[in-house]
Structure 1
Amino acid sequence: MRPRVVTPCIGVCSTALGDEVCRGCKRYSHEVIDWNSYSDGQKQIIDERLDGFLVQVMENKLHINDAKLLEWQLQTQRIRYPAHKSPYIWLFQLLRAGAGQISDCGQFGFSVDAEYRDEPLMVLRDMIDREHYLLSEAYYQRYIGRYLHREL
Protein backbone atom coordinates (compact mmCIF):
# COMPACT_ATOMS: atom_id res chain seq x y z
CA MET A 1 0.00 0.00 0.00
CA ARG A 2 1.30 3.42 -0.96
CA PRO A 3 1.48 6.17 1.64
CA ARG A 4 -1.01 9.01 1.46
CA VAL A 5 0.02 11.64 -1.09
CA VAL A 6 1.04 14.83 0.65
CA THR A 7 0.99 18.19 -1.02
CA PRO A 8 4.09 18.77 -3.16
CA CYS A 9 4.02 22.44 -2.16
CA ILE A 10 7.43 23.76 -1.11
CA GLY A 11 6.18 27.21 -0.10
CA VAL A 12 7.40 29.00 -3.24
CA CYS A 13 4.14 29.42 -5.16
CA SER A 14 4.16 31.50 -8.30
CA THR A 15 0.59 30.75 -9.38
CA ALA A 16 -0.59 33.67 -7.24
CA LEU A 17 1.55 35.84 -9.51
CA GLY A 18 -0.25 34.57 -12.60
CA ASP A 19 1.91 31.60 -13.61
CA GLU A 20 -0.04 28.67 -15.05
CA VAL A 21 2.64 26.31 -13.67
CA CYS A 22 4.04 26.82 -10.18
CA ARG A 23 7.79 27.43 -10.22
CA GLY A 24 8.06 25.79 -6.80
CA CYS A 25 6.14 22.52 -6.95
CA LYS A 26 5.53 22.35 -10.75
CA ARG A 27 1.78 21.76 -10.36
CA TYR A 28 -0.67 23.55 -12.63
CA SER A 29 -2.53 26.52 -11.17
CA HIS A 30 -5.85 24.66 -11.07
CA GLU A 31 -4.15 21.76 -9.26
CA VAL A 32 -2.77 24.12 -6.62
CA ILE A 33 -6.19 25.70 -6.14
CA ASP A 34 -8.15 22.43 -6.09
CA TRP A 35 -5.63 20.19 -4.30
CA ASN A 36 -7.62 19.80 -1.08
CA SER A 37 -10.74 18.72 -2.97
CA TYR A 38 -8.97 16.00 -4.98
CA SER A 39 -9.36 12.32 -4.18
CA ASP A 40 -6.32 10.27 -3.22
CA GLY A 41 -6.36 8.80 -6.73
CA GLN A 42 -6.29 12.24 -8.36
CA LYS A 43 -3.46 13.34 -6.10
CA GLN A 44 -1.57 10.15 -6.97
CA ILE A 45 -1.84 10.87 -10.70
CA ILE A 46 -0.44 14.39 -10.21
CA ASP A 47 2.33 13.11 -7.94
CA GLU A 48 3.34 10.45 -10.48
CA ARG A 49 3.46 13.03 -13.29
CA LEU A 50 5.66 15.35 -11.23
CA ASP A 51 7.97 12.50 -10.23
CA GLY A 52 8.15 11.20 -13.80
CA PHE A 53 9.22 14.58 -15.15
CA LEU A 54 11.83 15.03 -12.41
CA VAL A 55 13.26 11.54 -12.89
CA GLN A 56 13.45 12.12 -16.65
CA VAL A 57 15.51 15.29 -16.15
CA MET A 58 17.68 13.72 -13.45
CA GLU A 59 18.52 10.62 -15.53
CA ASN A 60 19.87 12.87 -18.28
CA LYS A 61 22.48 14.35 -15.95
CA LEU A 62 23.10 11.98 -13.04
CA HIS A 63 23.50 8.25 -12.53
CA ILE A 64 22.74 6.36 -9.34
CA ASN A 65 25.44 3.74 -8.89
CA ASP A 66 24.48 2.54 -5.41
CA ALA A 67 20.94 3.24 -4.18
CA LYS A 68 21.65 1.60 -0.82
CA LEU A 69 24.60 3.92 -0.21
CA LEU A 70 22.50 6.92 -1.24
CA GLU A 71 19.76 5.86 1.15
CA TRP A 72 22.26 5.30 3.96
CA GLN A 73 23.70 8.78 3.41
CA LEU A 74 20.23 10.34 3.44
CA GLN A 75 19.49 8.61 6.72
CA THR A 76 22.89 9.55 8.16
CA GLN A 77 22.48 13.19 7.09
CA ARG A 78 18.89 13.14 8.40
CA ILE A 79 17.47 14.29 5.09
CA ARG A 80 13.83 13.40 4.55
CA TYR A 81 13.13 11.38 1.44
CA PRO A 82 10.16 9.34 0.19
CA ALA A 83 11.45 5.77 0.50
CA HIS A 84 8.65 4.42 -1.74
CA LYS A 85 9.73 6.60 -4.68
CA SER A 86 12.55 6.40 -7.23
CA PRO A 87 16.08 6.85 -5.90
CA TYR A 88 16.33 9.79 -8.32
CA ILE A 89 13.69 11.54 -6.23
CA TRP A 90 15.83 10.79 -3.16
CA LEU A 91 18.86 12.21 -4.94
CA PHE A 92 17.05 15.44 -5.74
CA GLN A 93 16.16 15.76 -2.04
CA LEU A 94 19.85 15.35 -1.24
CA LEU A 95 20.83 18.02 -3.77
CA ARG A 96 18.13 20.34 -2.50
CA ALA A 97 19.38 19.96 1.08
CA GLY A 98 23.12 20.08 0.56
CA ALA A 99 24.45 20.25 -3.00
CA GLY A 100 27.12 22.73 -1.91
CA GLN A 101 28.49 20.36 0.72
CA ILE A 102 29.10 17.33 -1.50
CA SER A 103 32.65 17.08 -2.80
CA ASP A 104 32.70 13.38 -3.75
CA CYS A 105 29.53 12.11 -5.43
CA GLY A 106 30.78 8.53 -5.17
CA GLN A 107 30.49 8.70 -1.38
CA PHE A 108 26.78 9.28 -1.90
CA GLY A 109 26.25 6.54 -4.48
CA PHE A 110 25.88 8.65 -7.60
CA SER A 111 27.90 10.11 -10.45
CA VAL A 112 27.48 13.04 -12.80
CA ASP A 113 27.23 12.52 -16.55
CA ALA A 114 30.45 13.47 -18.38
CA GLU A 115 28.74 16.40 -20.09
CA TYR A 116 27.99 18.03 -16.72
CA ARG A 117 31.01 17.07 -14.59
CA ASP A 118 32.47 20.57 -14.66
CA GLU A 119 29.28 22.09 -13.26
CA PRO A 120 29.12 22.64 -9.50
CA LEU A 121 26.34 20.53 -7.97
CA MET A 122 24.46 23.66 -6.89
CA VAL A 123 24.38 24.87 -10.50
CA LEU A 124 23.39 21.41 -11.68
CA ARG A 125 20.60 21.26 -9.07
CA ASP A 126 19.24 24.60 -10.28
CA MET A 127 19.53 23.46 -13.90
CA ILE A 128 17.54 20.31 -13.07
CA ASP A 129 14.89 22.33 -11.25
CA ARG A 130 14.60 24.73 -14.20
CA GLU A 131 14.30 21.89 -16.73
CA HIS A 132 11.70 20.19 -14.54
CA TYR A 133 9.71 23.43 -14.64
CA LEU A 134 10.10 23.79 -18.41
CA LEU A 135 8.99 20.21 -18.99
CA SER A 136 5.92 20.77 -16.78
CA GLU A 137 5.15 24.01 -18.59
CA ALA A 138 5.51 22.41 -22.03
CA TYR A 139 3.21 19.56 -21.01
CA TYR A 140 0.68 22.05 -19.69
CA GLN A 141 0.74 24.09 -22.90
CA ARG A 142 0.47 21.03 -25.11
CA TYR A 143 -2.16 19.02 -23.27
CA ILE A 144 -4.00 21.24 -20.81
CA GLY A 145 -3.78 24.97 -21.50
CA ARG A 146 -5.00 24.93 -25.07
CA TYR A 147 -8.13 22.99 -24.05
CA LEU A 148 -8.88 25.17 -21.04
CA HIS A 149 -8.62 28.33 -23.13
CA ARG A 150 -10.93 26.86 -25.80
CA GLU A 151 -13.66 26.38 -23.22
CA LEU A 152 -13.49 30.01 -22.11
Structure 2
Amino acid sequence: MTNPDIVIIGSGIGGATIASGLAGCGASILILERGEPLPATPHARSTRSIFLDEHYRPKEMWREAGGAPFNPGNYYYVGGNSKFFGAVLIRYRKEDFSELEHFGGVSPAWPFSYDEFEPWYSKAELLFRVRGTLGEDPTEPFHSVPYAFKPVPDEPPIARARAELKGLG
Protein backbone atom coordinates (compact mmCIF):
# COMPACT_ATOMS: atom_id res chain seq x y z
CA MET A 1 0.00 0.00 0.00
CA THR A 2 1.78 3.14 -1.16
CA ASN A 3 -0.69 5.93 -0.37
CA PRO A 4 -3.10 4.94 2.38
CA ASP A 5 -5.86 7.34 3.37
CA ILE A 6 -5.20 6.74 7.07
CA VAL A 7 -2.04 5.65 8.89
CA ILE A 8 -2.33 4.31 12.43
CA ILE A 9 0.88 4.10 14.45
CA GLY A 10 0.87 1.00 16.64
CA SER A 11 -1.43 -1.98 16.94
CA GLY A 12 -1.91 -1.74 20.70
CA ILE A 13 -5.24 -1.14 22.36
CA GLY A 14 -5.47 2.45 21.07
CA GLY A 15 -4.45 1.66 17.50
CA ALA A 16 -6.60 -1.46 17.36
CA THR A 17 -9.63 0.43 18.68
CA ILE A 18 -9.20 3.17 16.08
CA ALA A 19 -8.72 0.59 13.31
CA SER A 20 -11.86 -1.26 14.39
CA GLY A 21 -13.88 1.95 14.39
CA LEU A 22 -12.63 2.97 10.95
CA ALA A 23 -12.77 -0.47 9.32
CA GLY A 24 -16.05 0.10 7.51
CA CYS A 25 -15.50 3.71 6.45
CA GLY A 26 -14.24 2.90 2.95
CA ALA A 27 -10.79 4.43 3.47
CA SER A 28 -7.57 2.50 2.98
CA ILE A 29 -5.91 2.02 6.37
CA LEU A 30 -2.30 1.15 7.13
CA ILE A 31 -1.26 0.09 10.64
CA LEU A 32 2.45 0.53 11.34
CA GLU A 33 3.81 -1.75 14.06
CA ARG A 34 7.43 -1.97 15.16
CA GLY A 35 6.97 -5.30 16.92
CA GLU A 36 6.66 -8.88 15.79
CA PRO A 37 3.80 -11.25 16.59
CA LEU A 38 4.11 -12.75 20.06
CA PRO A 39 4.93 -16.45 19.62
CA ALA A 40 2.01 -18.81 20.27
CA THR A 41 3.84 -20.83 22.92
CA PRO A 42 3.11 -21.74 26.55
CA HIS A 43 6.14 -19.62 27.48
CA ALA A 44 4.51 -16.54 25.94
CA ARG A 45 1.38 -17.22 28.04
CA SER A 46 3.25 -17.77 31.30
CA THR A 47 2.62 -15.17 34.01
CA ARG A 48 5.99 -16.01 35.54
CA SER A 49 7.80 -15.60 32.23
CA ILE A 50 6.10 -12.30 31.43
CA PHE A 51 5.90 -10.52 34.78
CA LEU A 52 8.53 -12.08 37.05
CA ASP A 53 11.25 -13.08 34.61
CA GLU A 54 10.39 -10.11 32.32
CA HIS A 55 11.26 -12.29 29.33
CA TYR A 56 9.41 -10.09 26.83
CA ARG A 57 10.17 -6.70 28.41
CA PRO A 58 12.68 -4.67 26.39
CA LYS A 59 15.89 -3.76 28.17
CA GLU A 60 15.94 -0.24 26.74
CA MET A 61 16.41 2.63 29.17
CA TRP A 62 14.94 6.10 28.91
CA ARG A 63 15.92 9.19 30.90
CA GLU A 64 13.56 11.21 33.03
CA ALA A 65 13.68 15.02 33.09
CA GLY A 66 16.35 14.99 35.82
CA GLY A 67 18.52 12.60 33.81
CA ALA A 68 17.97 9.44 35.87
CA PRO A 69 17.54 6.30 33.74
CA PHE A 70 14.39 4.17 33.91
CA ASN A 71 12.81 1.30 32.00
CA PRO A 72 9.40 2.48 30.71
CA GLY A 73 7.85 -0.99 30.61
CA ASN A 74 6.74 -0.77 26.99
CA TYR A 75 6.32 -4.02 25.09
CA TYR A 76 6.91 -4.03 21.35
CA TYR A 77 4.77 -6.79 19.86
CA VAL A 78 1.76 -6.87 17.56
CA GLY A 79 -0.99 -5.81 19.93
CA GLY A 80 1.37 -3.62 21.95
CA ASN A 81 1.04 -3.52 25.71
CA SER A 82 -2.46 -5.01 25.41
CA LYS A 83 -0.72 -8.40 25.17
CA PHE A 84 0.48 -7.91 28.76
CA PHE A 85 -1.97 -5.54 30.45
CA GLY A 86 -3.96 -8.09 32.48
CA ALA A 87 -7.30 -7.65 30.69
CA VAL A 88 -8.60 -4.96 33.04
CA LEU A 89 -10.46 -1.98 31.60
CA ILE A 90 -11.51 0.48 34.28
CA ARG A 91 -13.77 3.49 33.79
CA TYR A 92 -12.49 6.70 35.30
CA ARG A 93 -14.82 8.26 37.85
CA LYS A 94 -16.47 11.66 37.31
CA GLU A 95 -14.00 13.31 39.66
CA ASP A 96 -11.04 11.93 37.69
CA PHE A 97 -11.89 14.41 34.93
CA SER A 98 -11.76 17.36 37.36
CA GLU A 99 -8.87 19.55 38.44
CA LEU A 100 -6.76 17.80 41.06
CA GLU A 101 -4.60 19.48 43.64
CA HIS A 102 -1.64 17.39 44.82
CA PHE A 103 1.77 17.77 46.47
CA GLY A 104 3.40 18.79 43.19
CA GLY A 105 0.85 21.44 42.24
CA VAL A 106 -2.39 21.23 40.31
CA SER A 107 -3.29 18.91 37.46
CA PRO A 108 -5.78 20.69 35.22
CA ALA A 109 -9.22 19.32 34.49
CA TRP A 110 -9.72 17.39 31.29
CA PRO A 111 -11.28 19.38 28.45
CA PHE A 112 -14.07 16.75 28.43
CA SER A 113 -16.37 15.52 31.17
CA TYR A 114 -17.20 11.97 32.20
CA ASP A 115 -20.67 12.47 30.74
CA GLU A 116 -19.17 13.22 27.32
CA PHE A 117 -16.97 10.10 27.52
CA GLU A 118 -19.64 7.76 28.90
CA PRO A 119 -21.17 6.61 25.58
CA TRP A 120 -17.67 5.83 24.31
CA TYR A 121 -16.88 3.81 27.44
CA SER A 122 -20.01 1.74 26.73
CA LYS A 123 -18.97 1.14 23.11
CA ALA A 124 -15.43 0.18 24.13
CA GLU A 125 -16.73 -2.18 26.82
CA LEU A 126 -18.85 -3.94 24.22
CA LEU A 127 -15.99 -4.08 21.70
CA PHE A 128 -13.57 -5.54 24.26
CA ARG A 129 -16.20 -7.80 25.85
CA VAL A 130 -15.83 -6.28 29.31
CA ARG A 131 -17.59 -8.42 31.89
CA GLY A 132 -19.32 -7.22 35.02
CA THR A 133 -22.46 -6.56 37.01
CA LEU A 134 -23.67 -3.06 37.74
CA GLY A 135 -24.48 -2.10 41.31
CA GLU A 136 -21.81 -4.11 43.11
CA ASP A 137 -19.36 -1.21 43.41
CA PRO A 138 -20.89 1.72 45.32
CA THR A 139 -18.33 4.09 43.74
CA GLU A 140 -18.98 3.13 40.13
CA PRO A 141 -20.05 5.95 37.85
CA PHE A 142 -23.22 6.12 35.78
CA HIS A 143 -23.55 3.56 32.95
CA SER A 144 -26.04 4.23 30.16
CA VAL A 145 -26.18 0.51 29.33
CA PRO A 146 -25.48 -2.60 31.43
CA TYR A 147 -22.51 -4.82 30.74
CA ALA A 148 -23.32 -7.18 27.87
CA PHE A 149 -21.34 -10.02 29.44
CA LYS A 150 -21.68 -11.49 32.93
CA PRO A 151 -18.59 -11.62 35.14
CA VAL A 152 -16.28 -14.61 35.19
CA PRO A 153 -16.72 -16.50 38.48
CA ASP A 154 -14.23 -15.59 41.19
CA GLU A 155 -11.31 -17.88 41.90
CA PRO A 156 -11.74 -19.56 45.33
CA PRO A 157 -9.39 -17.20 47.25
CA ILE A 158 -11.15 -14.15 45.77
CA ALA A 159 -14.58 -15.65 46.54
CA ARG A 160 -13.53 -16.13 50.18
CA ALA A 161 -12.19 -12.57 50.40
CA ARG A 162 -15.38 -11.19 48.83
CA ALA A 163 -17.56 -13.10 51.31
CA GLU A 164 -15.46 -11.91 54.26
CA LEU A 165 -15.56 -8.29 53.10
CA LYS A 166 -19.32 -8.44 52.52
CA GLY A 167 -19.66 -9.80 56.06
CA LEU A 168 -17.84 -6.73 57.35
CA GLY A 169 -20.26 -4.45 55.56
Range into which the TM-score falls when normalised by the shorter chain: under 0.3
- Identify, as 1 or 2, the structure richer in strand: 2
Structure possessing the higher relative contact order (Cα contacts under 8 Å, 6 or more residues apart): 1
Q: Per residue, is there more helix in 1 or in 2? A: 1
TM-score by length of 2: 0.22
Larger Rg: 2
The TM-score with structure 1 as length reference comes to 0.23
